[in-house]
Amino acid sequence: MASIDLEKMRQKIKNTQWALVDFDWGSPGAEKITTEQWPKLKTFMADLMWIEHVGARGFAALAKSAPTDNLREIYTYFHAEEQRHANAEMALMKRWGMLDKNEPPVPSANLRLVIEWLERYADDTPFNLLATLIPMLEVALDGALCKYLLETVDDPLCHEIFAKINDDESRHLGVGFTVMEMQGKGPHYIAFIQMLGHLFDPRLIAGALVYFPLLNSMRDNLIAMGMQEEKLYKSIAKFKEIGGRTDQGRRNPWFQVIQYHGTIMVDRSNHFYHVPVDMLVALSNKIPRRLLPSPPTWVAELTHRPIA
Amino acid sequence: MNDLTINNRINQTLDVIIIGAGFSGLGMAIQLQQANINNIAILERDKEVGGCWRDNQYPGAACDIPSHLYSFSFAPNPNWSRAYSNSHEILEYIKSLVSDFELQRYIRFNTNVSNITFDEKAGFWTIKTDKRKALKARSIVIASGPLANCSFPNIPNLKEYKGHKIHSARWDHNFNFSGKKVALVGTGASAIQIIPKLVKKVKHLTVFQRTPAWVLPRLDAETPQWISSLFRELPSAQKLSRQAIFALHEVGALGLIWNSPLTSAMQRVALKHLQHQVKDDWMQRQLTPNFRIGCKRVLMSNNYYPALQQPNCKLITWPIARMSEKGIRCAEGIEHQFDCIVFATGFDIGTQTAPFSVKGVGGRDLGEDWKRGAQAYKSINVSGYPNLFLTFGPNSGPGHNSALVYVESQLNYAVQGIQRILNEDLAQLDVQAKAQEKYNIKIQKRLSKTNWNSGCKSWYLTEDGFNATMFPGFATQYSIQMRQFKDKDYHRVSAI
Ligand SMILES: Cc1cc2nc3c(=O)[nH]c(=O)nc-3n(C[C@H](O)[C@H](O)[C@H](O)COP(=O)(O)OP(=O)(O)OC[C@H]3O[C@@H](n4cnc5c(N)ncnc54)[C@H](O)[C@@H]3O)c2cc1C
Ligand SMILES: [Fe+2]
């Protein structure tokens, strides 16, 4: 993947829009979900859908802080496209009879905390951090999860939909890595010192406290479903490889921090990291629902209906 | 000349032909008439006068500069019913100009000008219209309007939509909105006037926003009876009030045109207005502009934000992907279906392009000359196009004050020019290219320091970011520059 021309990319994005109505949601294939598969798939899809939705909110924040008009517009589209993925996944859940009362699935406590954090702080998070973190999440979670899904589910409609989602996703990553490399331009030490300043910002520490457990709990869910952990680790290796393929990419200090964290995360033997983070996962699951603030209204924009 | 009915003079070479019967064209005729220049005609493509106020009869249409200032100083109206009158009342005022100044006799309706060509030797313009016979005039005033031609957004598959389509500037008064699912595209000046009215009529209204604008509270009120009586009895009181309103708007320029402490103050007021009227955090975020106030046209409304929050209204900020047979598909993957789509998407901007084919000296073409950015001398004359005057030419627009204040200066200037052509019997009165260039260098330099050029995309700028629309200064500055016809900047050729 070479660095891409972002102007051309914006045009390409506009020319490759798709909609839920492009698909026949009543077509045969839904019956291919086995009863054994069903409950696990339901949890899995719920997580996946929420991650798309959370990613969408991340892009919305990027659209606000983007340094150029072009990037601002690109991220505005990506925001909507992640929402489209969430909507499409919700529509698949509907097709498979996984929606209770046609409502979006209830997010896990950990996701609720992530949503809350995004709502409060995402718009103030340094552009450079978010622009590096989101590709990481997309590679690690989206990438690994989608691959796994396609290996286990036989419904042809699901494959059609994910072909589209993956196309979008590859554009998101193309832009993501290009922007990461752009950040490696300019004097190294300035970027480094700026980053150090942010590392100790309490808002970001709070962010880490919801982000680390999210990754660990996703890992647990995947394993519970029978996916090999290696898939997740491979994805993170991919992030390291592509993000660090050029000098410029490696000079982006946020890339170094995030890929270092990725390395620790996949190293199960690192108890210094995993014991406390797993405790956080357990802890967040114990938070009584009523203590969680009511979800922000952007969450209500999710829909499984192709037509409004 | 006794019989001024235009149909009886149509075969002569007229002194002046005015194109357009809106505020500018009619004002021009009044001023020429007062200077005793009567061998004139007004060509209007529509069947009625009124220009943009005839066209913009959408629900809620009103001016956003107080009527006492948004009217001609030479034709004061003591009877404005509100501070900001509605479109209907403004149109009535324009029609009263026609009867009060006996302009009917000059006007040829249903006459669409398609091209004008200058004959250098003879010193007159030939005007071709959609009628068979061409017309001739020694000078021309183009008053075809800065915002006279509707523009539709650049949405893929626009034509595919089969439901009812309405443009705000060509309202369909026969369409019955009740019980309908309606979309409104755009959140500019027209949209924020329409939305509060429309939401009351329809079953459901979906508003599609690309970029939010800054919205200030609007201080509108009915005119108390005693004010109208006072103004009728004592015209000088009305004049004084007009001057006060004018001065107030001039102060506004400090905040709107340049980045000053007043800019931040205004922005804070707009933000407070938003936060006060919209409580939901996400909606507040959707409605908060990401550019400095003044960079785009500032809007004023008290009922726009509340309307958006009505239970039967929804604001959508997803990018529009394309139109389909039944509605609008957005990038979030959902097709939104409607019985009717209203486009409040503005106009092709008249200050930036030639309105029709204009051929000057040596066959040069105004459209070609303006391809890389429209330019004129003091917004009114263009070198190479003698005996031609523009109202709302390049860089004549105000962002903070009544457009008619600018028009009045232009009319007065055009009269001075036309008087020279007639009195000195000139074949050509042409502004010198050097003078025009010097003027534009100055204008562009001053524009670079304004809020309009501070980085947002707006209709003030062309696709390439060139500002051929706004005048970078106070209305007073503009009036001063237009007061005197500067003879030494012009090149003259006498008629033989
Ligand atoms: C909705 C709206 C609200 C506005 N509110 C304000 C405000 O509050 N304050 C303010 O200062 N300004 C406002 N404006 C700006 C407004 O355009 C000017 O103030 C002014 O009315 C323009 O008058 P005009 O005569 O130059 O142009 P117009 O009123 O547009 O008249 C031009 C006329 O020329 C005719 N014409 C065009 N082309 C041809 C042709 N080829 N052949 C023959 N005839 C032709 C048209 O049919 C039209 O009748 C507003 C504009 C709009 C659209
Ligand atoms: Fe995604």
Residue A50 confidence (pLDDT): 87
B331 interaction partners in chain A (CB closer than 8 Å)? 17, 77, 80-81, 84
Judgement on whether residues B41 and B128 belong to the same structural domain of the protein: yes
Helix, coil or strand: residue B441: helix
Region A142-146 average pLDDT = 73
Mean pLDDT, residues A180-209 taken together:
69
Contact check, Cβ <8 Å, A19/B333: yes
Q: What is the pLDDT of residue B136?
A: 96
Look at A176-180, A250-254, B139-143 and tell me which has the smallest mean pLDDT: A250-254
Handedness of CA A67, A70, A73, A79 (dihedral sign): negative
Contact B321 A308 (CB under 8 A): no
Is the confidence at residue B165, as pLDDT, over 90? yes
What is the reported pLDDT for A188?
62
Per-residue b/e over B143-156, b at no fewer than 16 CB within 10 Å? bbbbbbebeeeebe
Output the pLDDT for position A251.
Answer: 77
* Residue B221 is assigned to a structural domain of this protein: no
Residue minimizing CA distance to atom 22 of ligand 1: B145
Q: What's the mean pLDDT when you consider all of chain A?
A: 82
Residue B91 — pLDDT band, cuts 50, 70, 90? very high
- The pTM score is 0.90
**Residue B155 CB contacts under 8 Å (≥ 6 apart), including other chains:** B320, B322, B323, B328
CB A233 within 8 A of CB A143: no
Look at residue B323 and give its three-state secondary structure: strand
Residues B301 and B380 in one domain: no
Chain B residue closest to A74 (CA)? Answer: B319
Q: What is the mean pLDDT of residues B456-482?
A: 87
Residues B318, B340, single domain; the answer is yes
Q: Determine which helix (DSSP H) or strand (DSSP E) holds B119, and give its type and residue range.
A: strand B113-119
Calculate how far, in angstroms, residue A169's C-alpha sits from the geometric centre of ligand 2.
6
Contacts of A17 in chain B (CB under 8 A): 321-322, 329, 331
Query: Nearest 5°: CA angle at B15, between B10 and B20?
Result: 75
Q: Is B212 in the pocket of ligand 1 (CB under 6 A)?
A: no
Residue A205 pLDDT greater than 80, yes or no: no
Per-residue confidence (pLDDT) for residue A105, from 0 to 100? 85
Indicate whether B215 pLDDT > 80: yes
- A1 has a pLDDT exceeding 50: no
Percentage of chain B surpassing pLDDT 70? Answer: 99
Mean per-residue pLDDT of chain B: 92
Contact indicator for B42, B107 with CB cutoff of 8 Å: yes
Span from the CA of B65 to the centroid of ligand 1 (angstroms): 15
How far apart CA B452 and CA A56 sit, in angstroms, is 31
Please indicate whether, in this complex, the C-beta atoms of A307 and B333 are within 8 angstroms of each other.
Answer: no
Phi and psi at B493, nearest 5°, equal -130, 125
pLDDT in tens, B433-450: 999 999 999 999 999 888
Is the confidence at residue B307, as pLDDT, over 90?
A: yes
Helices and strands (H, E) in chain A, number of each type:
13, 0
Which pLDDT band, with edges at 50, 70 and 90, does B30 fall under? very high
How many of the other CB atoms lie within 10 Å of CB of B455? Answer: 12
**pLDDT tens profile B247-290:** 888 888 888 888 888 888 889 999 999 999 999 999 999 999 98
Q: Is the pLDDT of residue B1 over 60?
A: no
Same domain, B310 and B187: yes
Contact: B290, A19; criterion CB under 8 Å? no
Q: What is the structure's pLDDT at B209?
A: 97
Kind and range of the H or E run holding B411: helix B403-423
Of residues A186 and A28, more confidence is placed in A28
**CB-CB contact of B152 with B30 (8 Å):** no
Question: Which of the pair, A5 or B97, is modelled with greater confidence?
Answer: B97
- Distances A196 to A188, A191, A210, A252, B366 between C-alpha atoms, Å: 12, 9, 20, 13, 58
- Ligand 1 and B435: CB distance under 6 A: no
Tell which wins on pLDDT, A25 or B292: A25
Return the DSSP state at B463. Answer: T
Locus of tokens 């204008």: B443
What's the helix, strand, coil split of chain A in %, to 5?
A: 75, 0, 25
Q: Do B130 and B158 reside in the same domain of the chain?
A: no
- Let me know whether B381 and B327 are in one domain: no
B201 and B163 share a domain? yes
Whole-number pLDDT of residue A187: 62
Structure confidence by residue, pLDDT tens digits, B122-137: 999 999 999 888 999 9
Does residue B245 sit within a domain? no
Residue B145 alpha carbon, nearest atom of ligand 1: 27
Helix (H, G, I), strand (E, B) or coil at B285: helix
Of B315, B345, B375, the one marking the end of a domain is B345
| Structural tokens at position B129 | 């219209």
Give yes or no for residue A186 having a pLDDT over 80: no
Put simply, the answer to whether A88 touches B335 (Cβ < 8 Å) is no
Sketch the domain layout of chain A as residue ranges. Answer: 6-15+33-287
Rg of chain A over Cα atoms, rounded to whole angstroms, equals 19
Per-residue model confidence (pLDDT) at position A197: 65
Is the domain of B340 the same as that of B370?
Answer: no
pLDDT at position A288: 73
Considering only residues A143 and B330, tell me which one the structure prediction assigns the higher pLDDT.
B330
For the segment B99-112, the average pLDDT, to the nearest whole number, is 96
Say if residue B175 is in the same domain as residue B321: yes
Choice between A39 and B57, residue whose per-residue pLDDT is larger: B57
Contacts of residue B336 in chain A, CB cutoff 8 Å? Answer: 307-308
pLDDT at site B313 = 97
Q: Which ligand 1 atom is nearest residue B23's CA?
A: 25
Task: Give the number of other Cβ atoms within 10 Å of residue B363's Cβ.
Answer: 9
For the cut 80, the answer to whether the pLDDT of residue A295 exceeds it is no
Number of domains within chain B: 2
Atom 37 (ligand 1) nearest CA = B144
What is the extent of the structural domain holding B102?
A: 6-149+348-494
Q: Are both B156 and B43 inside the same structural domain?
A: no
Cα–Cα distance, B380 to B393 (Å, whole number): 6
Which of the ligands is closest to the CA of residue B27?
1
Confidence class of residue B405 from pLDDT cuts 50, 70 and 90? very high
Tens-place pLDDT, residues B412-429: 999 999 999 999 999 999
And the tokens for A29? 């294939």
Residue B16's H or E segment, with its range, is strand B13-19
d(CA A46, CA A52): 10
Spell out which residues of chain A touch residue B311, defining contact as CB-CB under 8 Å.
none
Q: Give the pair of three-digit tokens for residue B59.
A: 């629900």
Q: Which fold has domain A6-15+33-287?
A: Ferritin (1.20.1260)
Per the model's pLDDT, the better-predicted residue between A247 and B491 turns out to be B491
Number of helices (H), then strands (E), in chain B: 13, 22
* Domain limit, last residue, from B322, B345, B368: B345
State the closest ligand 1 atom to the C-alpha of B46, by its place in the atom list counted from 1: 47
**B337 to chain A: which residues are within 8 Å by CB?**
307-308
Q: What pLDDT, on a 0 to 100 scale, did the predictor assign at position B373?
A: 86
Is residue A199 predicted with pLDDT exceeding 70? no
Query: Which numbered atom of ligand 1 lies nearest the CA of B65?
Result: 8
Q: Rg of chain B over CA atoms, in angstroms?
A: 23
B238 in any annotated domain: no
Closest Cα in chain A to B183: A308
More confident residue, B11 or B185: B185
Cα B392 to ligand 1 centroid, rounded to whole Å = 9
Chain B residue with the nearest C-alpha to that of A19: B333
Residue B343: what pLDDT? 96
Instruction: Indicate left, alpha or beta for B378 from its phi (over 0: left) and psi (-120 to 50: alpha).
Output: left
Lowest mean pLDDT among A170-179, B152-161, B480-489: A170-179
Residue A74 in tokens: 């690109």
B391 and B380 belong to one structural domain: yes
Cα separations in angstroms, B91 against B21, B76, B198, B240: 12, 15, 22, 24
Contacts of A80 in chain B (CB under 8 A): 318-319, 330-332
Final residue belonging to a domain, choices B345, B370, B403: B345
Task: Quote the strand ranges of B324-457, DSSP E.
Answer: 327-330, 335-337, 340-343, 347-348, 357-359, 388-390, 426-431
**Mutation site, B206, B308, B315, B334, interface A, largest A CB count within 10 A:** B334
Residue type, B382: V
Binding site membership of B25 for ligand 1 (Cβ less than 6 Å): yes
How far is the centre of ligand 1, averaged over its atoms, from the C-alpha of B44 (Å)? 12
Predicted confidence (pLDDT) per residue in A55-85, tens digit:
899 999 999 988 888 999 999 999 999 999 9
Write the residue with the smallest CA distance to atom 15 of ligand 1.
Answer: B403
Q: Which atom of ligand 1 is nearest to the CA of B114?
A: 41
Question: What's the pLDDT at A77?
Answer: 97
Which tens digits make up the pLDDT trace of B309-351?
Answer: 999 999 999 999 999 999 999 999 999 999 999 999 988 876 6
SS3 category, B321: strand
Distance (Å, rounded) from C-alpha A54 to C-alpha B431?
61
ipTM associated with this complex: 0.87
Residue B296 has pLDDT above 50, yes or no: yes
Contacts of A283 (CB under 8 A, 6+ apart): none
- DSSP letter string over B155-184? -TTGGG--SEEEEGGG--TT---TT-EEEE
Q: What is the pLDDT of residue B192?
A: 96
Name residue, tokens 């060139």: B466
Q: Among A30-39, B197-206, B222-231, name the one with the lowest average pLDDT.
A: B222-231
The one-letter amino acid code at A263 reads T
- Examine the domain organization and report whether B296 and B157 are in the same domain: yes
CATH number at residue B405: 3.50.50.60
Say if CB A136 and CB A173 are below 8 A apart.
no
Query: Which is more confident, A68 or A141?
Result: A68
Least confident piece of the model among A20-29, A228-237, B196-205: A228-237
